[in-house]
Amino acid sequence: MLFHVRMDVKIPHDLPADEVAEILTAEKAYSQDLQRQGKWRHIWRIAGQYSNISILDVADNAELHSLLSGLPLFKFMHIEVAALLRHPSAIREDDS
């Protein structure tokens, strides 16, 4: 199943810099591993915001929840999710 996921990150200003750096390093490794697995198909930064729009390709809602809640930045995120379905007018066969 494909999901459109918007993630807005709000790291507290009083979090120690070394802790922030550690979390960001873990976040990058985690998300890149999911990209290599084909589960995190697309990720785009939203200009001027600490936010992204991503397309995740997972088996079901439970897997999506597990992957998102496993993000090291999860506790600092507001996340919005929308399930996606192939549009009948789509011409690309590999976007399902």
Name 79's Cβ contacts closer than 8 Å, sequence gap at least 6: 5, 6, 7, 8, 68
State the CATH number of the domain containing residue 77: 3.30.70.1060
Q: Could you tell me the residue range of the domain that residue 70 belongs to?
A: 2-84
Global pTM reads 0.90
Strands (E), the chain: 2-9, 40-45, 51-57, 77-84
Task: Give me the average pLDDT of each 10-residue run along the chain (96 residues).
Answer: 97 97 98 98 97 97 98 98 92 75
In a domain, 80, yes or no: yes
> What is the count of structural domains for the chain?
1
Q: What is the pLDDT of residue 95?
A: 67
DSSP 3-state of 78: strand
In a domain, 45, yes or no: yes
In a domain, 77, yes or no: yes
In a domain, 92, yes or no: no
Number of Cβ within 10 Å of residue 18's Cβ equals 8
